[in-house]
Structure 1
Amino acid sequence: MLVMEFKAVVKEPQKIAINEAIRTAKFVRNKVLRYWMDNRGVGKKELYRYNTQLRDEFSFVKELNSHACQASVENVERAIKRFYDNCMGEVPGKKGYPRFRKHCRSVEYKQSGWKLSPDKKSIKFSDKKGIGRVKLKGTWDLWQFDQKQIKRVRIVQRADGYYVQFCVKVDNHEELEPTGNAIGLDVGLKEFYTDSNGHAEPNPRFYRTGEKRLKFYQRRVSRKKKGSANCQKAINKLGRTHLKISRQREEHAKRLARCVIRSNDLVAYEELRVKNLVKNRCLAKSINDAGWYQFREWLEYFGDKFGRTTVAVNPAYTSQNCSDCGQEVKKSLSTRTHVCKCGCRLDRDHNAAINILRRALSTVGHTGTFLNAWGEGTSTLLGSDLEGQVTSLNQESPSF
């Protein structure tokens, strides 16, 4: 599956219509979720049947395309299934009980309710919400795909405007020549990552860089009268700044992950539980700013796309054990140099990266045979199924 995103050029009446469609989709989702809560044990058929009742009862729901309402029901389905899977799998911590949505910024259509123009430069939404024809700005080429390959269309509202996303069912895999290289990655806060070859990638710290500007806009929001037009403008300015930082972080993770995957046949990294790490109040902001989990997601995505092996290993004692003799050398987090009695002296992160690579090779196979072990340690592609891909907002950049 491939997700293509275009900037939508809309007029003021179209903005009102899109916002109304988004609110309607949120209304359907919350009502269906409430029906499930009040009638515990109902199945998929009952949820869709209740959706039909909502369309008969509320005229504004009937104005939205029927498949768009079904997509809202599917969102509830996935939330319920994820909750039960977490309970059955005994996932530690909170199990993700389905919750109502107060803020919703997207509406999703299936294969009806919209039609692409012959030149693929605009899209027309034909339901009764009145969105109409929307111009598309972007560098993606939709000409190479048949309209039947487009399985979902989503309108997304962001701080800087509206976007239209297309979920295209296409084989996105590419074959690359083997390089014979294997690498281990140890992520950190001082350096973004240090590999087993000793190379350290600097941490850009996008949030820390833009924090002064964020505080400036936050003060402007707090000074405005709540609910006023000036307050909304200040909130939009603040949202645009946050959006810029998040895009910088994502593009940075995407670029590095692609380069690492293309240069190595096997990539090993730590299987970190970031949501537990951010419970540390002193490091939470820096950990969120680094974007470790986002980097891992892109490693797994490009690993599947290019047929490379990606292995997540247990990070326990990778920093404490010596990569030369294997002896445990206890050190605090502030100690940045690993010094062992055997004479090994390395940077702490470099030592950990070597240990991570060795653990991965012991899982997949030794150095001479891991090139023939395709698929044994490869992580699952994010959103490889249709529903999972559509719910994700991750897209490859056209420059790739």
Structure 2
Amino acid sequence: MMICKHFLIEPTKEQEEKLFYTLYLCRKLYNYSLDQRIKHYKEYGKGLTYEEQQNMLPKYKKEHPEYKTVQSQILQDVLRRLDRAYKNFFDKRAKYPKFKDRYHYTSITLPQCEAKRNFGKEGYVYIKNIGHIKIKAHRNFDPTKVKTINIKYHAGKWYINLSIEVEEEKEKTVIRKKAIGIDKGINSIAATSDGELYSNPRWLQKSEKKLKKAQRQLSRKKKGSKNREKQKKRLAKLHEKVANQRRDYLHKISYNIVKHNDIICVEDLQVKNMMKNHKLAKSIANAGWGMLDAFLEYKAEREGKIFIKVNPAYTSQRCSGCGRIVEKDLSVRVHKCECGLEIDRDVNAAINVLYEGLRQLGITA
């Protein structure tokens, strides 16, 4: 299985210039390739494939010698990115691909086939034609297991995402010490089967006034002006602050849960589908359910503990005491059953998640 680790990197001024130039060339190739697909479709009635565009890449590089400074694997990933955009469009997961400006093309990827990667220096990553870039590696990782590198520029800072291969155990021997079920919600980001409720700080809502003000100020700036560039950075920093607050809080929750439990059972929610509900989309995105699952999963893997997702069907409606279905809408926050059980509805759901997780593992609750 693959896990992703996210770090801040600190390129020198010279390295930063090279990274910006690489992003410029990648964006130029992306837009050229998109234009090529559009023209080909208009002329021949069918689009180009990734393989066809990849075969055209050597000729394009010959005509544009500046691309000699960019690794072929990075350029191939540009074409893959465009191909994914088309597939998402045809699968009705996204709109038709758009031409990118420098604010919407901010990352480069070195895929698995990149062979010149050198992690010989601790806390550094090596990229051909750019050199050794310092990583602020606050978590350990095995350099030999790194399969993909993604470098991203955001809000005036550079980040690196490392996709790392982790061997999955074929059989997990379970010595049951402590198991927990987790129900994810909007009022409480997480409710546990132990009765603990992790409140939702609603970072986005708290910063919404500042974000709207910054957005209005941006819209009044003249396009292409230095003041507009400065305001874009201010707005990006505000968004980054919200994202960092959410990430920090979810790290603390996941650390606490994994530290005190050996088996972690969560709902397998289809977050993307739930986001289609426009009334709840902002609240769901702000809660960071997917991020919480990702943090729990990699921390459990790192600590040798078990993380399992279960079907969320009827977890909120089923009584954790007697198993009877007690129908209730979202406005009802307390579960009451004829058997006499009266409990917070999210805690009730978390207990049901725990029971289902243990059942899947073949453990008697």
Tell me whether the two structures share a fold, i.e. TM-score over 0.5.
yes
The residue number in structure 1 matching 2:58 is 52
Aligned equivalents of 2:361 and 2:125: distance in 1?
47
Contact 1:179–1:263 under 8 Å retained in 2? no
Q: Alpha carbon RMSD of aligned pairs, Å?
A: 3.6
- 2-structure distance, mates of 1:225, 1:338: 55
- Deviation, 1:157, is 0.8
Q: Structure 1 residues 76, 214: CA separation in 2 closer, same or farther (over 3 Å shift)? A: closer
Deviation at 1:229, TM superposition (A): 0.8
Instruction: State the match for 2:28 in structure 1.
Output: 27
Please give the TM-score of this superposition, normalised by the length of structure 1.
0.73
Shift of 1:135: 5.5
Map 1:200-219 onto structure 2 (within 5 A): 200-219=197-216
- Asked if the contact 1:30/1:101 (under 8 Å) is kept, the reply is yes
Compute the displacement of 1:216 (Å): 2.9
Which residue number in structure 1 is paired with residue 109 of structure 2?
Answer: 108
Per-residue CA deviations over 1:42-93 (Å, capped at 9, x if unaligned) read 7775443222222122223333222322333444566678889xx7xxxxxx
Q: Which residue of 2 aligns with 1:138?
A: 136
Partner of 1:192: 189
What's the counterpart of residue 263 of structure 1? 260
Gap runs ≥5 in structure 1: 88-93, 369-400
Matches within 5 A, 1:81-230: 94-95=92-93, 99-100=97-98, 102=100, 103-109=104-110, 111=114, 126-127=128-129, 132=130, 136=134, 138-140=136-138, 152-164=148-160, 178=175, 180-230=177-227
- 2:68 — aligned with what? 62
Q: Which residue of structure 2 lines up, in the alignment, with residue 294 of structure 1?
A: 291
**Matched AA of 2:356:** R
- The 10-residue stretch of structure 1 (19-28 or 175-184) with the greater mean CA deviation from structure 2: 175-184
1:309 and 2:306 matched: yes
- C-alpha displacement at 1:195, in angstroms? 0.9
Shift of 1:165: 5.1
Q: Distance in 1 between matches of 2:158 and 2:131?
A: 14
Equivalent-residue separation in structure 1 for 2:124 and 2:297 (angstroms):
33
- What is the identity percentage for the equivalent residue pairs of Structure 1 and Structure 2? 31
Q: Among residues 5, 10, 22, which one is paired with 1:8 in the alignment? A: 10
- Whole-angstrom distance in 2 between the partners of 1:221 and 1:168: 39
1:280 to 2:277 alignment: yes
Query: Matched residues in 1 for 2:311 and 2:123: separation?
Result: 48
Change in 2 beyond 3 A, CA 1:61/1:290: same
TM-score (norm 2): 0.79
The answer for the alignment partner of 2:250 in structure 1 is: 253
1:290 positional shift: 0.6
What is the alpha-carbon distance in structure 2 between the residues aligned to residue 176 and residue 231 of structure 1? 58
The residue aligned with 1:390 is none
1:104-163 deviations in Å (ceiling 9; x for gaps):
1112346467767x7657667553xxxx55762624589x967x6665554321113223
Q: What's the CA shift for 1:284?
A: 2.4
